[in-house]
Structure 1
């Protein structure tokens, strides 16, 4: 068992990755812990009060867990490009009686400082960050709570920057991962480096424990990542059809649809690269959307919620990694245990 696994109290080094936007639930976090692993409360998009409530719920189960934060690293949007895009996609939103607001884009920081206050008031064992590397003062404030600090990185250069900032471990994410990439440079193309190669390169460059993430959906894939030097792995997409996942019925059905033709990296929904199942929206607008996060996230959010509620998979962000065909129904504990079978 690796030093990181011991520090996290893991008997199974297959972690349930944080999944913001509803897919990650307190029940999923608890299920991961009951499998001898670890889950993360995903703070992204939640209000500070909702985050505090989720922390209370999981803490009440007396299991180890972490919290994942979206660290500030905004992608400013060009105002004229934003207005053009809002007008372009209005035809899609009008299907549900929604008119995207082409006015001033919403460019917030996901209530970063308020969420830090929540974690100071209710310390948790592990805090991870994605999208950006927090400044030293914020890292120091969280370290004083006793938390182990984990930074998501997607390249060797980002791993070196995170190590210099003083984090305790790295979540090394490949471009095969479902949902948003944790890249620190979201307007640059993502390198399609296999996770085993990326883990090996990061371990060679940086002396920090590594959690591998991205496209890991089979026992063989998990075992290969561990052999490449990962101390643990994190899986997300393979849990999206589990009993405890909180994603929509529309999303779950699309993951099981044999007619889906694969995944794409797209910034059409949120202005930041994310991997999703191909659908009509990604095909039509993938090459037309400007970069701009969180402006595009807020612009398309109402349309996406309405489409999911209506059972329309063509206008929903169907986040999925390249291993999505291995997502199965059933208890998350069984899925995580199965993934560790070759270790």
Structure 2
């Protein structure tokens, strides 16, 4: 099998190198499967393993599985977690006791589901350094980062083994910082994106900027930098609009959640098409970082009470979220969805390669 994902540094993969500049979002925790990554790659795009909650061994196993399925290039996304930043956010919110207070608040929900909460989960970076070492030892086409700007030395080490380095940014200032450390390209993520917003500090209150507005702002600030737009992109018209505004490609997640290749749970799939859900909202209540979810009873009740405590709330609520999903209760677990999840209905149950091709090819036709 030809290993096209181990490239010399002079040929690092950019969006403009792709047959279709569509990036499959690294949806950690299950939705982005090796099968989904392979399908997006075979369609001429590129998708990312969401290694955020995997250890280094788990990431290597996912990489091996993708390589069994396809020769197409793929990437790995890494969460950048910093203990000092996490501690600072907790301190500003009132100290570690705020996690215990939130645990007490959600206790009745956990008890109803038969789950005992651990009110004082410790900080973890999910094997971050070992994962980065693994990616230097066994290169992939792209390594992307979420929740932070990597050190220049990390960027150079990955580029030296042929990987393109991508940083997910939520604003113009972070986009500039990412370029300054040597990122090859950017994923520019607006407030419309489903799941986590890639702010670079836990305590940051992200803005509500639209994808189009953010694309225009970043293009004006960084006219020579390649980047893809992320957030609320669900139709060919959405793709055409961000390309016209200055993006070099798109990153999509919500529109892939109901493809057959995705590992999205049956409960989550059903909720995305359920008319009872009428709003998606960024909330800290599941992980301690802002992440956009459909508004169910848990979000509605506990959104305002959730402290900026990541990854503490992620660890705290994890067993409860799993129990609710197993019980088929959509009113408790996170139902990640971008702002335009309804417009993604047209692609429900269609193969991922077909979704990628349709989004890109019809957008290009529209642009003439």
- The TM-score range, normalised by the shorter chain, is over 0.9
Distance across 1 between alignment mates of 2:149 and 2:286: 23
Q: Do structure 1's residue 198 and structure 2's residue 206 form an aligned pair?
A: no
**C-alpha distance in 2, partners of 1:220/1:37?**
18
Distance 2:71 2:22 in 1: 19
> Deviations along 1:18-75, whole A, 9 cap, x unmatched?
1101010000000001111111111110121111011111123211111111012453
- 1:18-97 correspondence runs (5 A): 18-60=26-68, 61-73=70-82, 74-76=85-87, 77=90, 78-97=95-114
Q: Select which of 305, 315, 325 maps to 1:288.
A: 305
Query: Is 1:342 paired with 2:352?
Result: no
Does the residue aligned with 1:315 lie in a helix, a strand or coil? Answer: coil
Which stretches in structure 1 are left out of the alignment for 5+ residues? Answer: none
The alignment's TM-score, normalised by the length of structure 1, stands at 0.95
- 1:72, 1:134 within 8 Å by CA — same for their partners in 2? no
The question of whether the paired residues in 2 share the 8 Å contact of 1:79 and 1:105 is answered with no
Partner Cα distance (2:248, 2:122) in 1: 39
What is the CA distance between 1:336 and its match in structure 2?
A: 1.2
CA apart distance, 1:303: 0.4
Corresponding residue number in structure 2 for 1:324: 341
Q: Extract structure 1 runs of 4+ deviating beyond 6 A.
A: none
Aligned residue pairs total: 338
> Paired residue for 2:199, among 183, 186, 208?
183
* 1:85, distance to aligned residue in structure 2 (A): 0.8
- Extract unaligned runs of 5+ from structure 2: 1-12
Give the Å deviation of 1:129.
0.3
Secondary structure of the 1:201 match is helix
Please, which moves more after superposition, 328-337 or 263-272? 328-337
RMSD, aligned α-carbons: 1.3
TM-score by length of 2: 0.89
CA drift at 1:187: 2.6
Whether the aligned pair in 2 keeps the contact of 1:156 and 1:205 (CA below 8 Å) is yes
Cα pair 1:27 1:244 within 8 Å, conserved: yes
Does structure 2 retain, via aligned residues, the 8 Å contact 1:179–1:275? yes
